Structure 1
Amino acid sequence: MATIFQSHLFFTILLLLASLLDYSKVYGVESESYHVIQVTSLLPKRSCSTPSGFNQTGLKIVHRRGPCSPFGQEKASTREILMQDQSRVDSLMSRISSGSQRVKTQDTEVPAQLGSSLGTQNYIVTVGFGTPEKKLSIAFDTGSDFTWIQCSPCPPIKCYSQQEPLFDPSESTSYRNVSCDSPQCAQLDSATGNPHSCSSTCQYTVEYGDSSSSSGSFASETLTLTPSDVILNFPFGCGHENQGLFGRTAGLLGLGRDPLSLVSQTALKYNRVFSYCLPSPSSSDGYLKFGSDAITSSNLKFTQMGTNPKAPSFYFLTMIGIRVAGEDLPIQASTFASPGTIIDSGTVITRLQPAAYMELRSTFRKSMSNYTMTSEYEIFDTCYDFSGLETVNVPKIVLRFQGDVEVEVDVLGIFYPVNNSQICLAFVGNRYTDSLGIIGNRQQRKINVVYDVGGERVGFGAGGCS
């Protein structure tokens, strides 16, 4: 009799636990597997606010189109943002497939060596160029190596409109043109992806996958990151002809691994270490740090940084799995192996190998079965209508990497709001199994991401700018 009673009690407890799980999904009880979130928090904010208790050091990062931006809130439709993001993805994929004449991307075939990446460039920092220092707001990019800014003379027909006044090299006492016979001039080709040219001084041209471009004089200048972080004789492009989708930024800061990148040029000063935290939501701010200040968090976990000889400046990671709502998805680690996965600050939406995305989507939809699905939008195929709801329960998503490193995606990084009644899962599956996986910036929000390039490792710490 005791055995029958114990069995009955056991199954009663199981049913109770199952009902509590269902209750939490419907009525908003926070758990280890689910977030509870206000629906209004998924929508863009109009005012800028610094997170409570956030003690920022280093360079302040702001979203280019958010209310904290020095440009005001730049306007761009979701369709435009996604198209620019796809251009960047196509560019990244073309660089990793440089051995072929044409490369398969999401929707078509494009020429190999499409150009350096660019795309939406969501996040910007403000740095100083020259002596005396001139403050300029520029995009930063781990997928690019070459740093450049617009310089006068720069007639309107050859340059785009930026927020701050153009940098005038004639007003700086520390500006120097790089000579044609300089070793640095020869390094331009790998950093820009284009052959350099020479007149009286070294000249550069960099072309991006979205047809944007910059060309001008290759020079050196004093770069001021913070009052205590000043880099002398920093090589950069002084652009006199610049066209494309740069918004109102003054240029681009390259954080790749090429010898001309900021990371390599400051190796003695910062030991090739930097970190950032991208703000979540975009109405807040984050940070970009260099050197010993970049590794201050006690909760960091590191995974090995990989390299692909076809794109040696990219930051590769060994991805091994995904967890959704506490469930490890049945994905073989080999699914992510070829050609691998990179982490990238400039791509917005994470791209996954087809089999991995299908498992993610299936489990996510099952976990969200209590909510109303709505129509697909552009690259997004899993969208919901949360109209009339105050809160929703969202399954937690964890990205798993080599070395027992698990990165929980911030809840605002799980979704992309198209409009008030169309909130979409912010992941996309590649069309081809041999396409590059990319961890985008939306899934990096609020995480302290540390690049220890010298140590060949990447670290992740929760709550970096929350």
Structure 2
Amino acid sequence: MDSMPPGINCFSQTLPLFNPEKSTSYKKMDQNHKLNDFFYVSTNGNLVNRADYYLEQSSSGIVSLETFTFQSNKGNPENLPSFISQMGVKNVKRFSHCLPKRSSSIKTTFLRFGTDVKSPSNLQKLKLFGETYRERLKLPKDTFLNGCMLDTGHTGSRLDTRAYTAVVKILTQHFDKFKLTRLTGGVYEGQLCYKMKAGFKNFPNMTFHFKGRNFFGFEDDIFCMTMYGMNNLTILGAFQMQDVRFVYDLVEGSVAFGAENCELDKA
């Protein structure tokens, strides 16, 4: 195996970086693998994956195979060759997560699979691939033609530019009534941010359908809408997923969601 650093120019994290040299089950994906069409071959012959994100972050690395070991509910370690789409032998076709509030002291909750998935009665269910409904804002019919992605890797959400422009217009009209000072230019460019007045609580509810302050981020005496415009794509990010249970069912092709105190699902 070639000598490889676990990461180059990586962001800070509290957990140790994965070091492939310390794994007995790690191996690079061969160019003849059935999934090789999804990646490109580097000059030294490795299959490489690269992801570029909207706010100019990016990540890239050698495509590899690994076996994961988890502590099972029986108290014993259990080996799995990979995640959801490769776990058919375990009959795992459902998974679920519940992210606690950013302000919570609980920082770790469970990613649940199979029969361990909770399905509270208050969940609303939608098809993963299906018709997108739009109302109230009177948006063009093709605004959400590309659907809506659910991505915990995005902190804030992204709205198709036409929807974002309409939302910003309505929120600007709302906050102007309270004579708040909007912040523009510099780090606030392209965002909807305001200077906070003491005791201000007149935040409107927006519906994905999720209520309340999950749509605004707060830093000292400034608040910003945690949504951004994006051409031809809508993404529901982690900020809007706070205290919401999500259950994904790959057999039904559905996603169910509902309000929950995610602190109670602590690891």
Q: Which category describes the TM-score, using the shorter chain as reference length?
A: 0.7 to 0.9
Match of 1:212 among 55, 59, 66: 59
The DSSP-based 3-state class of the residue aligned with 1:186 is: coil
Q: Distance in 1 between matches of 2:164 and 2:87?
A: 38
Q: Following TM superposition, by how much is the alpha carbon of 1:452 offset from its aligned partner in structure 2, in angstroms?
A: 1.0
Match of 1:304 in 2: 127
Seen in structure 2, the aligned counterparts of structure 1 residues 452 and 392 have a Cα distance that, compared at 3 Å, is: same
Q: CA RMSD in A?
A: 3.5
**C-alpha distance after superposition, 1:206-261 (max 9, x if no partner):** 22324432227x344242154548553515xxxxxxxxxxxxxxxxxxxxxxxxxx
Partners of 1:171 and 1:392 in 2: how far apart? 52
Q: Which has the higher strand share?
A: 1
Equivalent of residue 427 in structure 1, options 227, 231, 250: 227
CA apart distance, 1:447: 0.8
Change (3 A) 1:196 1:293: farther
1:366 pairs with 2:173: yes
CA deviation after TM superposition for structure 1 residue 458, in Å? 0.9
Determine whether 1:452 maps to 2:261.
Answer: no
User: Do the aligned partners of 1:177 and 1:220 also contact (CA within 8 Å) in 2?
Assistant: yes
Cα offset, 1:355, TM superposition: 2.8
How many angstroms apart in 2 are the aligned matches of 1:372 and 1:441? Answer: 27
Q: Residue 48 of structure 2 aligns to which amino acid in structure 1?
A: T
Report the secondary structure of 2:181's partner residue: strand
Number of the residue aligned with 1:280 = 101
Match of 2:134 among 321, 327, 333: 321
SS in 1 for 2:35: helix
- 1:32-431 equivalent positions in 2, closer than 5 A: 153-155=3-5, 163-164=15-16, 167=19, 172=24, 175=25, 177=27, 180=30, 185-190=33-38, 193-195=39-41, 204-209=47-52, 210-215=57-62, 218-224=64-70, 226=72, 228=74, 232=79, 234-235=81-82, 262-283=83-104, 284-285=106-107, 286-306=109-129, 318-321=131-134, 328-337=136-145, 339-368=146-175, 369-376=177-184, 377-380=188-191, 382-387=192-197, 389-399=198-208, 407-411=209-213, 413-417=214-218, 419-430=219-230
Check 1:352–1:222 CA distance in 2 against 1; reply closer, same or farther (3 A cut): closer
Cα deviations across residues 383-415 of structure 1 (Å, max 9, x unaligned)?
22114x13412111111xxxxxxx21441x211
Q: Note the C-alpha offset of 1:305.
A: 0.8
Whether the aligned pair in 1 keeps the contact of 2:69 and 2:78 (CA below 8 Å) is yes
3-state secondary structure, aligned to 1:363: helix
**Aligned to 1:395, what secondary structure does the other structure show?**
coil
TM-score, normalised to structure 2, is 0.76
User: Residues 351 and 158 from structure 1, CA distance in 2 versus in 1: closer, same or farther, beyond 3 angstroms?
Assistant: closer
Letter of the 2:196 counterpart? F
Q: Quote how far apart the aligned CAs of 1:362 are.
A: 2.5
Q: Which runs of 5+ in 1 are unaligned?
A: 1-150, 236-261, 307-316, 323-327, 400-406
1:40-98 deviation digits (Å, cap 9, x = unpaired): xxxxxxxxxxxxxxxxxxxxxxxxxxxxxxxxxxxxxxxxxxxxxxxxxxxxxxxxxxx
How many Å separate the matches in 2 of 1:444 and 1:335? 22
Higher helix share: 1
Displacement of 1:349 after TM fit?
A: 2.2
* Number of residue pairs aligned between Structure 1 and Structure 2: 250
Give the counterpart letter for 1:208 in structure 2.
A
Using CA pairs below 8 Å that are at least 6 residues apart, which structure has the higher relative contact order? Answer: 2
Q: Is the partner of 2:111 in helix, strand or coil?
A: strand
